[in-house]
Amino acid sequence: MGIKVRLEDNVDVKSDLAKKLMARRKKLHKEMEEERDTEIEDSLSEIYRDDQGQKIDVNRMKIRRKQGIVFWFFNMLVFALVVIVLGLGVYYYVVYNHGTDSTAVDMKITAPDTVSAGQEMSYTLTYNNQEYVGLKNVNIKVDYPADFIFASADPAPSVNTDTWNIGQIKAKSNGKIIIKGKIIDKAGAASIALAQMLYTPENFSSEFKKENSASIVVKDIGFGLNFNFSNTALVGQEEKIDIDLKPLDADYLPEFYLRLTKDDNIQLSDIVVDNGATGAENGNSLAAKKASSTPQIISWKVSGLQNKEETLTIKYRVKTKTADNQRIVLIFAQNINGKDYVFFEQQIPFQVMKSDLNLTLIMNGSRSDQPVNFGQTLNYSIAYANKGETGMQDVVIMAVLNSDFIDWTTLNDTNKGREMGNTITWTKDEIPALAKVDAGESGTIDFAVNVLPFKENDLGKNFKISGYGQYAVGGLDKLGGIGSSTSSSTASGIDNQSNTINSIINSDLGFKEQVRYFDENNLPVGEGPLPPTVGQTTTFKVYWNLTNNLHDLNDASVQTILPNGVEWSARNRTSVGTLTYDNSSKKVTWNIGRLPITVFQASAEFDIALTPTEDQRNKIVVLVSGSKVLATDANTGAALEKDSVPKTTKLEDDSIAGMSSDGRVK
């Protein structure tokens, strides 16, 4: 406290000052003692409390011994081992175990969906390794379809034309093989290529396999083929097979082999081109040169097909009758490296008849089967000729037409044959020349009849017409009675019949076109003055409606060309397909494509506008010059066509407009 007092034991403390000093000293000493004890207690309290500030029971307290350097060394060693093991585990999972994921290795082969026969095309084969390990012993093999002709590949194959020994594919890498060639097969044929890749991951000893395939459909053979032939052949009579060739947009088969297979009793002449050339080259014209010949097989090399229709004619003769029915087989193929690639085959069946009177039935200028339309006129001819050595007395000739769709009320027969049931019969009473047909004598009987129009209750019937001719010598009794087409066949076999022409009736495609100012509900769909006025614009609505019942239609479309002065409006609508307009040609086209029979009706509509000029005043103006419907019957293959008549400002289909307008421009 700044005052220091020292008192000896023998000092006299009697004085008051000495007593006070002594008392003060004792007090200060006591305070210092208490302060020290407090500090010690606080220090001990801090030592004997836990982390939560609670007092520790020193009677139960455990005293931890200090760890040495050996302890810490072993702890660090164990920690390092744990880290190494975890690292190896992660590495094994990411690298080694992950390399067995088959989805990380991919191989595909792709090709165009469709090609024409003989068209150059490519297969593209890609392989992709997304693994963290490489692949070894990689081998790729492609199993080509039988109709594929290999041309080249990049990279080149290791073995033959179909195997690539890739060896290694590094991790996270890919590659590609392009194979070029062409397919020659029949139209509609599907060609499937199968690719296979074998490989072994670098961290495995097992072999893995990947497979993939690509399919191509042959859409066409580059040209159309049509065959005309008689389904009967008279012994000793020359017959012919006409082959019409019509090139399409792209022809990749400039030359090919035509191979004919026949029986020994058929004598064959050389093939004849429509320009009269036989067996020799004809400059740039179609030519057929004989390539090989055996008693049963004759082959010609055909070349020079141009962008125009041409005809090949094969003439043959049946020498003797060995069977009632025979056939000739025609095969169209290309021969590459000694292998035939067939792209078309046609059977020519015919009945063999041994008769002195030759009958030939012709319909609409052809002896072959052909489709017909509802309401169409069928023009028939029966040509007869005595090929025997003696004359024939009292000849009877009959025409048989089997169908529910012949409209006999429309029969047009100048010879006035006897009509009964499904037959027409001519005797010497109707045609005096039939009283006697001398050897070598011939004649023709002509008649025509219509096909009935389609009615809704016709659904379910047989839409086919089958016609043939037959004859007898010696009067009607030899035919077994008028209209008895079966009894005569039973008695005489087929030798007294002509060829048969079978006709399937095409689908009942219908088309209706209207140009209106008011719709069928009498609501205005046009705008502007009515009748049209010079210098002012009037719009009209054009309606197109297609109906169809029997067969699916392909490539269906409707087209019209707008007259000068009539303009197209973009306001249009269709139930199927699309409407387009070509401004340069002023052509409106409704592209429908395939129209199945499930879609009984299809419709389209669009606006047109007319602004009359002074020279059109007091005149009726053509708004639509007539439209054309085109389609292909999916069942018969026939090209269907419908036309409409021109439509004018008279608005022939709009009775409401006709009440206030005669169609003349004001």
Most confident of 119-128, 497-506, 596-605: 119-128
Mean pLDDT, residues 170-194 taken together:
94
Decide if pLDDT at 551 tops 60. yes
Of 249, 189, 255, which is closest to residue 224 (Cα–Cα)?
Answer: 249
Calpha distance 226→220 (Å, rounded): 14
**Predicted confidence (pLDDT) per residue in 586-597, tens digit:** 999 999 999 998
Statement: residue 19 has pLDDT above 80: no
Class of domain 357-504: mainly beta
What token pair was written down for 141? 């093999």
Note the helical H segments in 516-664.
Answer: 655-658
Query: How high is the pLDDT of residue 368?
Result: 85
Answer whether CATH 2.60.40.740 is correct for domain 223-353: yes
CATH of domain 101-220: 2.60.40.1530
Residue 301's Cβ-count burial label (10 Å; 0-12, 13-18, 19+) is middle
Side-chain half-sphere exposure of 127, counting CA atoms within 13 A: 27
Q: Using a pLDDT cut of 70, give the percent of the chain over it.
A: 82
For residue 473, the model assigns a pLDDT of 86
d(CA 224, CA 249): 11
Only one residue has tokens 């139960």, namely 60
Query: Is the distance from CB of 650 to CB of 619 less than 8 angstroms?
Result: no
Strand partners, 310: 245
Give pLDDT, residue 56. Answer: 54
**Over residues 461-486, mean pLDDT:** 74
Spatial CA neighbour of 654 closest among 569, 538, 574, 548:
538
287-296 pLDDT, tens digit each? 888 888 888 8
d(CA 262, CA 260): 7
How high is the mean pLDDT of the chain? 84
Q: Where are the domains of the chain?
A: 15-46, 70-99, 101-220, 223-353, 357-504, 510-658
Task: State the SS3 of 341-403.
Answer: EEEEEEEEEEEEECCCEEEEEEECCECCCCCECCCCEEEEEEEEEECCCCCEECEEEEEEEEC
pLDDT value for 67: 59
Q: What are phi and psi of 308, to 5 degrees?
A: -160, 160
d(CA 541, CA 537) in angstroms, rounded, equals 14
User: Which carries the bigger pLDDT value, residue 323 or residue 84?
Assistant: 323
CA dist 182 to 223, 254, 445, 588, Å? 17, 14, 52, 38
CATH hierarchy code of domain 510-658: 2.60.40.1170
pLDDT for 1: 41
Q: Which of 382, 399, 393, 400 is nearest to 428 (CA)?
A: 393
Question: Do 101-220 and 510-658 come out as alike in CATH topology?
Answer: yes
To which H or E segment does residue 20 belong? helix 16-47
State both tokens at 4: 């220091």
In this predicted model, which residue has the larger pLDDT, 274 or 152?
Answer: 152
Give, in order, the Cα–Cα distances in Å from 185 to each of 178, 248, 320, 534, 651.
22, 16, 36, 62, 54
Q: Are strands 357-363 and 395-402 parallel, antiparallel or unpaired?
A: unpaired
Length of the chain as a residue count: 666
Query: If DSSP codes are grouped into helix, strand and coil, which group holds residue 655?
Result: helix
Confidence band for 304, pLDDT divided at 50, 70 and 90: confident
